[in-house]
Structure 1
Amino acid sequence: MSDLPTLSVLDLVPVRSDQDTADAIAATLALARVADDLGYRRYWLAEHHNMPAVAATNPPVLIGMVAGATRRLRVGSGGVMLPNHAPLVVAEQFALLEAAYPGRIDLGIGRAPGTDPVTGWALRHGAGGVTDEAVSRFPEYVENVLAMMEPDGVGLAVQGRTHVLRATPAARSVPQIWLLGSSDYSALLAAEKGMPYVFAHHFSGNGTGEALALYRSRFRPSPELAAPRTFLTVNASVAADAAEARRRALPQLQMMLALRSGQPLGPQVSVEEAEQAELSDAQWASIDAMAERWVIGTPAEARTRIADLAASYDVDEVMVNSVAGAAAGTEPGTSPAREETLRLLVG
């Protein structure tokens, strides 16, 4: 990887129309082992709920699976959507993961719900309050998580007495904690708290430069971080032939089109099914515009594109969401095209 920035992996644990949840998890574990063997730095797992094509509903559970199946990768959340959860629960989960895999756990924290309003209510019922309250208290929740994972814990004043809350009885280390976002809000909060920050470039591709510039200009050093630290996230489909790389990206491109236009979602279709989809000229134009922001092409083209993005945004690490779809007849517990994207990127 000497000619590239350091590479990492983002995984939403996609579920195809030929898979059940067990198959999708098996494919993720296989992909993580490939990333581990190839020398990728991190493997982050997303949090999305009640979506027919995404099995990444519970990052801490998946992190434990992936960390146990790999040797050297840093494994983390990209991210835990904190307003969905009680801060103490998140702190407990990640304190245990860090204890089990010391020096290998990342906690990426986000503010978005990662789901629809009804599912969001079900997630928060009895734990995080109503949506507006949970979101408005996000900075407080972040502080709580940080403090609870420290060996000394945090003091909670109740009826004139101080009760100490610790995420785990005897912490020796804490996970590396990042703030994630797709707006200026998290960039400013990360800068104010002196935390590392990642903008969700893979999701929109818009506003990345502005958010990173704001984060860097407002950054205040903290005991944990002396200078700004960030990296870039991208969607990628890589194949020996550029047309094949674009073909493999079609299922994910069409799913993102459906998500953004409010159409019903289903499991991810095969490459052949995506090719047969009947779309309007306007829909194909939207897909083309999205594809322009993704890394799609041959290995040489993809490496050049990633190197250019890293230089443009002044980052030394790029996290790849491998979005290459599967051909009809692919073994359900595997994702060979996603694995090939990772292999071809490193040469």
Structure 2
Amino acid sequence: MSNTPAPALSVLDLVPVRTGQTSAQAVAASLGVAQAADRLGYRRYWFAEHHNMPAVASTAPPVLIAAAAARTERIRVGSGGVMLPNHSPLIVAEQFAALEAIAPGRIDLGIGRAPGSDPVITQLLRQSGTTSDVDRFPDNINDIVALVSGEGATVRFTSGSTYGVHATPAATTTPEVWLLGSSDYSARLAAAFGLPYVFANHFSGEGLERALALYRTEFQPNEQHPEPRTFLTANVIAAPTAEEAEERALPQLHMMARLRTNMPLVPLETVEQAKANRDFDGLAETIMAQARSRWFVGTGADAASALSSFAQQHGVDEVMISPVAAAYDGEPADAAPGRIQTLELLAADLLG
């Protein structure tokens, strides 16, 4: 490995649900991974927001964040992210102000603009009457930043009168707000607001270099963030052997192919189920090969070295890994040995 400083490591969790696993067992497994990340010295642990997917149980990031905060001691916990069009900005601000009160100095509020679901679920979410207008996304970001601050926000009426609003009565610390995205729009918005930014490289690596260049070039410094601050996400699997790592990658690759080819979604396969599956055609195989080319899969030493080079190439000092190692038949349903193994092997090389 080179003499360049090793990047800090963080974790992104979608709370995967595999065949035969209940939601309760999937959540228990993810909380075990969060505790391992805390023990091993990872910097932060974020939960994504997705809805109505058989293989994903991360539907409510604030609830999962509270559970993880209660089971960890020093790691930052947060959202990666809250999909703002699904929610009222005030409710998001209140939830994360409450989380900050539970774990002061340890809460990250990552915010995204995508719905995180299909059109039917998006419509159901918006029927609740508590969602925000996607066209007002920039204004809603400003509102949330103000609401979680100690000073709060001010509502101004057409009559000229004002009304003070606070997400919590007496904040002394605030959650750190991050903008998430995989497009020029999100990069430019984060730069204009002078906020930290994360490119969703784990989902789509296309446009990475351009997005980072736009963010860094157009960044508007402020008192809280005098310089641009960013890190990258990546799908990672580390195992004692390269063969095991590739086997543990196969179920997630199958899920990616299902998503991209509109095949019916199912719970995540076990390794044995994935190896026996012959349902995928040439297009699906091409999609899986393209996805695999952007993942970091191999022994701990090989994955760690590749991640270090990746961080150095893009000028970041932190990489948030999505540990997508699937399970073998017979592994405990309420634990995630492959995902924890990935964290442990990377930590041995990069976190000392």
3-state SS in 1 of match to 2:164: strand
- Aligned-partner residue type, residue 42 of structure 1: R
Pairwise mapping of residues 138-149 of structure 1 onto structure 2 (< 5 A)?
138-149=137-148
Tell me which of 88, 95, 120 is aligned to 1:118: 120
3-state SS in 2 of match to 1:51: coil
- Residue equivalent to 1:327: 328
3-state SS in 1 of match to 2:286: helix
- Residue equivalent to 1:291: 292
- In structure 1, distance between residues paired with 2:171 and 2:12: 27
3-state SS in 2 of match to 1:300: helix
TM-score, scaled relative to structure 1: 0.97
Pairwise mapping of residues 41-80 of structure 1 onto structure 2 (< 5 A)?
41-80=43-82
1:32 aligns with 2:31: no
- Residue equivalent to 1:246: 246
Equivalenced residues, count: 343
For residues 302-345 of structure 1, the C-alpha deviation after alignment (integer angstroms, 9 at most, x for no partner) is 01110111011100000000000000121110110011000011
Which segments of structure 1 move beyond 6 Å, counting only runs of 4 or more?
none
Go from structure 1 to structure 2 and tell me whether the alpha carbon gap of 1:3 and 1:162 turns closer, same or farther (over 3 Å shift).
Answer: closer
Go from structure 1 to structure 2 and tell me whether the alpha carbon gap of 1:119 and 1:282 turns closer, same or farther (over 3 Å shift).
Answer: closer
Pairwise mapping of residues 1-347 of structure 1 onto structure 2 (< 5 A)?
4-125=6-127, 126-128=129-131, 134-158=133-157, 159-278=159-278, 279-347=280-348
Report the CA distance between 1:281 and its aligned residue.
Answer: 3.6
- In structure 2, distance between residues paired with 1:273 and 1:211: 38
- How well do the aligned residues superpose, as a CA RMSD in angstroms? 1.3
3-state SS in 2 of match to 1:10: strand
- Aligned-partner residue type, residue 127 of structure 1: T
- Aligned-partner residue type, residue 100 of structure 2: E
Report the CA distance between 1:3 and its aligned residue.
Answer: 5.5
Share of identical aligned residues, percent?
Answer: 54
Q: Which runs of 5+ in 2 are unaligned?
A: none
* Residues 261, 284 of structure 2: 8 Å contact kept: no
Q: Which region of structure 1 is more displaced relative to structure 2, 152-161 or 253-262?
A: 152-161
Report the CA distance between 1:280 and its aligned residue.
Answer: 2.5
Report the CA distance between 1:124 and its aligned residue.
Answer: 1.9
For residues 226-251 of structure 1, the C-alpha deviation after alignment (integer angstroms, 9 at most, x for no partner) is 00000010001111111110110100
Report the CA distance between 1:157 and its aligned residue.
Answer: 2.2
- In structure 2, distance between residues paired with 1:119 and 1:247: 33
- In structure 2, distance between residues paired with 1:137 and 1:281: 41
- In structure 1, distance between residues paired with 2:149 and 2:332: 44
3-state SS in 2 of match to 1:136: helix
Report the CA distance between 1:160 and its aligned residue.
Answer: 4.0
3-state SS in 2 of match to 1:78: strand
* Residues 50, 58 of structure 2: 8 Å contact kept: yes
3-state SS in 2 of match to 1:309: helix
For residues 253-291 of structure 1, the C-alpha deviation after alignment (integer angstroms, 9 at most, x for no partner) is 110111111111011010000011112244223212211
- In structure 1, distance between residues paired with 2:222 and 2:262: 42
* Residues 49, 116 of structure 2: 8 Å contact kept: yes
For residues 51-72 of structure 1, the C-alpha deviation after alignment (integer angstroms, 9 at most, x for no partner) is 1111100111100000100010
